Amino acid sequence: MAIVTGAGAGLGRAEALALARSGAAVVLNDVTDAAKTVVDEIEAEGGQALLVTGDVGERATADALVEAAVEHFGGLHVVVNNAGVLRDRMIFSMSDEEWDTVIRVHLRGHFLLSRNATAYWRTRSKASGGPVPARIVNTASEAFLVGSAGQPNYAAAKAGIVGLTVATARGAARYGVRANAICPRARTAMTAEVFGDAPAEGVDPLSVEHVAPLVAYLASERADRINGQVFVVHGGMVALLRPPAVERRFDTNGPLWTADELDSTVGAHFAGRDPETMFAATEILELP
């Protein structure tokens, strides 16, 4: 039994179909009834699906999704947090509403459903006296890796989702929960202005169909050893990200740092470095 948010089109639709084809009953969510056609697709293929509309940034939606999975399908094993919105603008031009909307839908939305699901799994684990099979697949983005200049709200939300994923993996692993995040590069309605139209012929390297199999795999019991990880996925490629590493450590020679000592140590480390070289993994965009 699985929940997929933002399942009306694009990546969420592909993920819901992949899970259904792997044998899961799926509760689909979208802010409108757009996902009804996906429910119909799943049922036409002999699967089970149910639509719960609502804004993932609202507590009531998270409550309704978990309740629907448990009441209609007898339980919950998988959560795929996919729903999102964009409000692109440079930091100096961004409004309060543009910031709050993206943080609420992406980060708060991931939190609310993850909180409800892990609370359910924790209760079941305690009742059974052992771990339960439970999976969370969160949706981050390469925007957090590169610091997308026109998307400070989106980049911040996606960085927060990575932190939330690792914290969830650490905090809920004892109950059987495995939480991982993907950074998908896919051609969807949300990325239409970035990636443009699909090629007229051949396999689209940015098709959502390249992403869905990884999500279905991470949602399966076969991925039990994978926890708290972040993957970039697109075009037939999966890249496992290495956790951040310390580039260099600086230690004071005195009881407290002085401005001169900081300049001669920390400052000297950056001598001759282009200020455009930042804490950003821009090379990720060049992965084969």
Calpha distance 74→48 (Å, rounded): 12
Q: Which two tokens stand for residue 214?
A: 């990884």
Written as one letter, the residue type at 176 is G
Calpha distance 250→145 (Å, rounded): 25
Q: In what order do the strands lie in the sheet with 237-240?
A: 49-53, 26-30, 2-4, 78-81, 134-139, 177-184, 230-234, 237-240
Calpha distance 184→114 (Å, rounded): 20
**Known active-site residue 175:** no
**Known active-site residue 141:** yes
> Among 183, 79, 52, 209, which Cα is nearest to 137's?
79
**Annotated active-site residue in 114, 125, 141, 148:** 141
With beta carbons less than 8 A apart as the criterion, state whether 3 and 80 touch: yes
**Annotated active-site residue in 114, 125, 158, 175:** 158
Which positions are annotated as active-site residues? 141, 154, 158
